[in-house]
Chain A
């Protein structure tokens, strides 16, 4: 028992230390970071955070990211819910191939695909819009959402569907008022994964945007290329990239514990 506890303490210390260190840096000026080593912050200052919250080129990055990530999560769920239902309840021509093809979309190396992506989205005049990034991220999020939701739906007995149809429910009414509430927890978990993978993706998001939809992660790389890194400012920006995700986890945490207990994911 104590060995287990010791193991957990070591592991979670290992998880938290790098984050703690970035937090310490975010509270210091770059001079004091480079000036000397200390385990806890000296000369605490909120100047880095103040700059991010007042400089439009910084805070707009967060807003852009949040906009396209939210759009992506909604689109992924809306598209994946009916498809996952189809995969979990019916067999149809090409179902296995379709499922595997969906999954292969996670496997393409991004580097070379960036250029055709850029060309494609330019053709439709979508460059530098939030919707462009949201749709591009569907490439890897929709298959994942279908995969996870299918697992949850398979756990719901089909008798429930049949009973509802016998009671005279139409498919849309059954799906919205009976089925979706049953897999709430699964939707919570899926939303978490969609949010997460869209929020952390950099290459596609950077390629498809120039200024008005540029994500925060890309803004950070731009600052990085300037001579002499502003460590404190970057650390503060980094800490702030964790905040929206942490909020999402906080809100879906009950779904996560429950969802994790019910479905196979």
Chain B
């Protein structure tokens, strides 16, 4: 077990707690960069999906995991990003402009939802965002002159100037780069004023307000940033799938995004990445399991939903900190072996709260 002896305040602001941690992240990045050499196109494609979903996961994590605002409508922001990218590309706008535009459109939509959502919390907010996602889905289907309705839009392969992202490995690097930048920005945010304000908003809105946190402003910021990142993921998603239609952005997708943050571990950026890996790998694992047991036939979607639901339930009941929480425990177990005690992580009771805002 590594004990850091701190000698300056700067050490608490660093990205990595100490050199050992930085080293292992370096190894991870190196492994990610070398992945195209070792993996075939199929597995690399899965890895690309993990990156894309992780970007959206970080977006939802900021909103739900850190600011404590539940959203069941994030598929709408994913769709906004995807459609903006597809439409702008069809009009010949270069990717370096269309990608920020996709994020900006989604963020603007996020602000539009965020402002009326200021008065709502908990289950009411979840239902309001759900309703919003239904509206967006309906608009995508009906506004045929722009979205081509249920025919969908074919998305051309991505190119930045002469550099074409036609091969899987090239697109993988792009997605990985976006994920790395997203994680860095999110990490920066969380170690500064705004990040602390979001956490304060989640843990005690009344205390946050008494210390000068403008609740409405920070809720709006959380919605805007979250939607913007999800839109960014949507733009990448459009290119990855190469075809988008309204049925790719249903409520099920919103639920998947929520599964990412809950199963990954609410309130941790690691969790967003773990959750994304989980959601990409699970359907593949189900397919493998089905063929291993000799079960044939369809119903994949039904089995996926069933298993998602079951796992979500089990995580809520037995591992509220998600995969990241489980990982921390495993790590402690190994570091402290044989002295690990279950009680180390026993959940503490919280005390009664004082007057709440209505």
Do they bind each other? no
Q: Contact residues of A with B, CB < 8 Å?
A: none
Interface residues of B (CB under 8 A from A): none
